[in-house]
Amino acid sequence: MSSIMSRAELRSLPMLQQPNYPDEAALDSVIDAVEKLPPLVFAGECDGLRAKLAEVAEGRAFLLQGGDCAESFEAVTAQHIKDKLLVQLSMAVVMTYAAQVPVVKVGRIAGQYAKPRSKPTETRGETTLPSYRGDAINGFDFTEQARAHDPERLIRLYNASAATLNLVRAFVTGGFADLRGVHTWNRDFVGNPEVEAAYEELAAEIDRALTFMVACGVDDRALSTIDFYASHEALLLEYERAMTRVDSRSQQVYGCSGHMLWIGERTRQLDGAHVELLRRVRNPLGIKLGPTTTPRQAIELADRLDPDREPGRITFITRMGADRVREVLPRVIEGVEETGRKVAWVCDPMHGNTFEAANGYKTRSFNDVVEEVRGFFDVHDSLGTWPGGLHVELTGDDVTECVGGALKLEETDLADRYETVCDPRLNRNQSLELAFTVATRLRKGRRSRGNPVLDFRAKEL
């Protein structure tokens, strides 16, 4: 039986990228309150996702994980959440139809309110203040009051996550995700004729397939609802520990702030508090791996977090950069594969491709994003391993944060609608365009590998 880590245990370990709260008594008061709050997700849901990720690791499914770089409290509205869901639903249906395997849908949602930062402070002119670290820690406005680290924001984090999950559950089970509405998912936001035409052609094919399935007597309830899971970086250790619960059925400990939790590139030290805390929970776990990752580091992390090699437990989310992925990734995959361990390999083509534009905006080139995805698929094709998924920062809004794409956004366009509070995200058109790129590679892979989902023998009569 697992036990929940105590506050004293947690605070005795190295804790990187944490808020600097000036009043520990105030923090303890908030943590007392969080510990009494109901779980946001449940053990059975986490187990269900882990089973689906085991299918990803076996090459029988594909993971699409996406959402905001950093959520904001102000964006917890029905329209914002619906728009983000629409983008992922549209992307997922494109990929599902191409790969002909299930696409596991996981959002960077309902908990992604904090971000690690490379610098603890920000300077503008002669004023230096703490860096903005996400709404769960401090405010975005460049004032001393807003930038102060406030533990009361952890309660707002919980409430915002709860409200978001309530809306997501209502949308995905209430007919909003019905496959027969595939045309309407994209109608309001496709702005490029080429992408729109490709999507509408695909939607028409899906309509014909669905008509055939219903005519054959397929239960149409399977077409009207989906499973959609919530994930976030388990960065805020005090909050994550307070949100751990013992499952009454199994007596095992789960992190009940989200279905899937991941450890970032900056906080995956073997002797650190992040690894120790997540080692104790039963959730499926993601681990970000950057371009400096060695095979030994990846293996040691997997062994520490998953000593029993449980299917679906470990997802490696690689963020190598477009110029490094073909060089670094093969060695890491080969090293892990040689141990006999099966993990899900997922590409994050965003975080390794960030740069500062000439006008000062932090941005990413869509071409670089696509190139890393292609490199990811190239590596897996050469090794004969399964490219298991895509992890992408995106939004349902028509922002101008990443340059390039079919609409040919340039650096001078960034100022038009640069709305992110942290890292640049793909807009709706760029997200769907990327989905078609991935779909092309999945279709190619299906032809060469075969389709394990349809691996059956016709019965002789």
Helix axis angle for 24-36 and 153-173, nearest 10°, is: 30
The rounded distance, in Å, linking the Cα atoms of 168 and 82 is: 8
- Check the annotation: does 108 bind a ligand: yes
The rounded distance, in Å, linking the Cα atoms of 12 and 303 is: 23
Question: What values do phi and psi take at 390, rounded to 5?
Answer: -130, 130
* Contact partners, residue 290, CB within 8 Å, separation at least 6: 265, 319, 320, 351, 352
Tell me if 229 sits within 8 A of 259, measured CB to CB.
yes
β-bridge partners, 345: 316
Pairing status of strand 314-318 against strand 285-289:
parallel
DSSP letters for 355-392: EE-TTS-EEEEHHHHHHHHHHHHHHHHHHT----EEEE
- Check the annotation: does 69 bind a ligand: yes
- Check the annotation: does 331 bind a ligand: no
The rounded distance, in Å, linking the Cα atoms of 256 and 175 is: 26
Site of tokens 């005795």: 12
- Check the annotation: does 423 bind a ligand: yes
SS3 for 384-448, per residue?
A: CCCCCEEEEEECCCCCCCEEECCCCECHHHCCCCCCCCCCCCECHHHHHHHHHHHHHHHHHHHHH
Tokens coding 200: 């509408």
- Check the annotation: does 288 bind a ligand: yes
List the one residue out of 106, 122, 258, 93 whose CA is nearest residue 183. 93
- Check the annotation: does 119 bind a ligand: no
The rounded distance, in Å, linking the Cα atoms of 125 and 170 is: 47
Q: Furthest-apart CA pair in the chain: how many Å?
A: 84
The rounded distance, in Å, linking the Cα atoms of 87 and 75 is: 16
Q: Tell me the binding residues for phosphoenolpyruvate.
A: 108, 265-266, 288, 319
* Feature table: binding site for Mn(2+): 69, 351, 393, 423
List the binding residues: 69, 108, 265-266, 288, 319, 351, 393, 423
